[in-house]
């Protein structure tokens, strides 16, 4: 038998045995750190640039969700945290502080150079925005998954 093939067969078998016999997994949800909104700039034509500092590249990290409301409190604490505009980013393995540049624009234009992600939304000048981190949450009991959101970021007024 090929040694590489033998390794993969053994690895698969041990993983299968471990998966079905493992009862010592955590049911505690992982806590995601909220991002920090640094600035928002109006670029004209309903296009805005948001600078965000965050430290969330890890296994369950998925991206960010933007909320908009008439007051600071409502932007940070919406009645439904599932309603907002998402920006899903590529996962990274190393937890490092990162400064992201997000573009908020209702059009389907491609990203401007240097933009981490485009959020398809319309922002209203004078309203407040905040963001939350999205992490994947998997329920092993019923094999479902969903997004888990972090605590809210600070809020900024849309110029």
Burial tier of 32 (Cβ tally within 10 Å: 0-12, 13-18, 19+)? buried
* pLDDT at residue number 74: 96
Per-residue confidence of the chain (159 residues) as pLDDT tens digits?
555 555 555 665 555 555 555 555 555 666 678 899 999 999 988 899 999 998 866 677 888 999 999 999 999 999 999 899 998 886 655 557 788 899 999 988 877 888 888 999 999 999 999 999 888 776 666 666 677 888 999 999 999
Rounded Cα distance between 69 and 126, Å, is 10
127-142 pLDDT, tens digit each: 999 999 888 776 666 6
Rounded Cα distance between 150 and 132, Å, is 5
User: What pTM, to 2 d.p., does this model score?
Assistant: 0.76
Q: Note the helical H segments in the chain.
A: 3-21, 72-76
The domain limits of the chain are 28-157
Rounded Cα distance between 124 and 155, Å, is 14
CA distances from 16 to 7, 10, 22 (A): 14, 10, 10
Q: Which CATH class is domain 28-157?
A: mainly beta
């Amino acid at each position: 038998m090929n040694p590489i093939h033998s390794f993969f067969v053994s690895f698969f078998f041990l993983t299968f045995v471990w998966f079905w016999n493992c009862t010592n997994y955590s049911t505690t949800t992982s806590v995601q750190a909220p991002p920090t909104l640094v600035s928002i700039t109006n670029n004209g034509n309903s296009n805005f640039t948001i600078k965000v500092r965050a430290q969330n590249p890890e296994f369950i990290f998925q991206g960010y969700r933007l909320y908009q409301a008439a007051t600071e409190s409502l932007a940070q604490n919406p009645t439904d945290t599932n309603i907002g505009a998402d920006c899903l980013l590529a996962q990274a393995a190393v937890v490092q502080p990162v400064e992201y540049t997000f573009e908020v624009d209702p059009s389907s234009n491609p990203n401007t150079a240097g933009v981490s992600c485009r959020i398809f939304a319309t922002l209203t000048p004078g309203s407040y925005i905040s963001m939350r981190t999205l992490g994947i949450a998997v329920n092993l009991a019923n094999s479902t998954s969903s997004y888990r959101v972090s605590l809210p970021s600070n809020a900024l007024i849309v110029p």
